[in-house]
């Protein structure tokens, strides 16, 4: 539901409708309908109705907090679930940047805009700041948003946007890189420790390749990390002693660092991100035949013949 007393909301509604009306991808949230009318007070009323996502946002899982009416056990994502969501988001961005009739820039990628369905599949949502490249009909919205400083969220928006640079797909890549680093470290880019020249990017860069265990989310090192009804998989002392796991962790961190490079020209293309992440995931899952954190039938013990 949009607050139309905010003068940007109506334009945001139009931009989101335009961006979503022609795109179809399993990792993009589905809009069921758009509603426009008058509320009980006589004010304009506009709302987008999205497909319900049973497991909420990635933000809820990375930084869950226990409220008064919530269960004592906190929801957490295990390692392979985080990798799967990272792959899901990469697929969605690759589609927006390269598979649409005209490239679409999301402009506000962050954990709260990644929704998880019943099977923990990631979906990008909230296209309110999206820009369709070469779409003249939307340039007025993007330009006005830019002049008002609406170029994403602090910590996730690329540095060039703050210097007046044009919106580009490289901006989304930067946001994705920060998102990836946050997913593995459990630290927001706005964490209070990141000040006086220290950023999430530099924090990770300084630890690679030999101190990677020191910077990963401590939750991932616990004996058991459960995500809803999904099976357990952990980064414990046993498998972190395996070079394969350390190599995969370092490789994923390097993707995050390259994507969040200060210079747009140094960042990866999302097509390359998808290819490399899928290769890393395959390497992780190959010995144990795991998919989305669940042991498959290939691992079932024979029942006898």
* Model pLDDT for residues 266-301, shown as the tens digit of each residue: 999 999 999 999 999 999 887 655 556 655 544 444
Helix (H) or strand (E) holding 266: none
Between 125 and 195, residue with greater pLDDT: 125
User: Which residues face 36 on adjacent strands?
Assistant: 46
Would you tell me how many other CB atoms lie within 10 Å of the CB of residue 248? 19
pLDDT value of residue 292: 63
Binning pLDDT at 50, 70 and 90, where does residue 231 land? Answer: very low
Q: How high does pLDDT run on average in the chain?
A: 80
Active-site residue, selected from the candidate residues 39, 44, 108, 172: 108
Model confidence, pTM: 0.81
pLDDT value of residue 71: 53
Rounded Cα distance, 223 and 294, in Å: 17
The answer to whether residue 171 sits within a structural domain is yes
The answer to whether residue 291 sits within a structural domain is yes
The answer to whether residue 304 sits within a structural domain is no
| DSSP per position, 48-63 | EEEPP-TT-BHHHHHS
Please tell me the total count of domains within the chain.
1
The answer to whether residue 119 sits within a structural domain is yes
| Structural domain span for residue 170 | 53-299
pLDDT tens profile 73-112: 557 898 999 999 999 999 999 999 999 988 999 999 999 9
pLDDT value of residue 64: 75
Binning pLDDT at 50, 70 and 90, where does residue 229 land? Answer: very low
The answer to whether residue 6 sits within a structural domain is no
Read off the tokens for 22.
């022609």
For the question of residue 108 being annotated catalytic, the response is yes
The answer to whether residue 188 sits within a structural domain is yes
The answer to whether residue 228 sits within a structural domain is yes
pLDDT tens profile 132-176: 775 543 443 444 443 334 578 999 999 999 898 889 999 999 999
Would you tell me how many other CB atoms lie within 10 Å of the CB of residue 223? 7
User: Which residues face 105 on adjacent strands?
Assistant: 131
Which CATH number belongs to the domain containing residue 75 in this structure? 1.10.510.10
The answer to whether residue 68 sits within a structural domain is yes
């Amino acid at each position: 539901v949009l607050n139309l007393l905010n003068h940007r909301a109506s334009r945001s509604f139009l931009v989101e409708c335009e961006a979503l009306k022609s795109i179809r991808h399993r990792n993009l949230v589905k809009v069921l309908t758009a509603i426009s009318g008058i509320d009980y007070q006589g004010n304009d009323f506009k709302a987008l109705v999205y497909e319900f996502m049973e497991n909420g946002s990635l933000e809820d899982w990375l930084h869950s907090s226990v409220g008064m009416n919530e269960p004592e056990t906190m929801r957490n994502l295990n390692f392979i679930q985080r990798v799967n969501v990272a792959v899901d988001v990469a697929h969605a961005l690759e589609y927006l940047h390269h598979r649409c009739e005209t490239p679409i820039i999301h402009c506000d990628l962050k954990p709260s805009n990644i929704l998880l369905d019943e099977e923990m599949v990631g979906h990008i949502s909230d296209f309110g700041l999206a820009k369709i490249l070469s779409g003249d009909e939307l340039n007025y919205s993007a330009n006005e948003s830019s002049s008002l400083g609406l170029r994403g969220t602090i910590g996730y928006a690329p540095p060039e946007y703050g210097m007046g640079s044009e919106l580009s797909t490289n901006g989304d890549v930067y946001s994705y890189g920060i998102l990836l680093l946050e997913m593995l470290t459990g630290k927001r880019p706005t964490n209070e420790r990141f000040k006086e020249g220290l950023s999430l990017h530099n924090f990770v860069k300084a630890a690679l390749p030999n101190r990677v265990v020191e910077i990963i989310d401590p939750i991932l090192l616990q004996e058991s990390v459960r995500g809803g009804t999904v099976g357990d998989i952990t980064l414990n002392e046993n498998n972190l002693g395996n070079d394969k796991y350390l190599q995969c962790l370092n490789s994923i961190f390097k993707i995050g660092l390259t994507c969040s490079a200060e210079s747009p020209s140094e960042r990866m293309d999302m097509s390359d991100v998808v290819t490399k992440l899928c290769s890393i995931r395959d390497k992780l899952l190959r010995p144990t035949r795991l998919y989305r954190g669940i042991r498959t039938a290939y691992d079932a013990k024979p029942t006898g013949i």
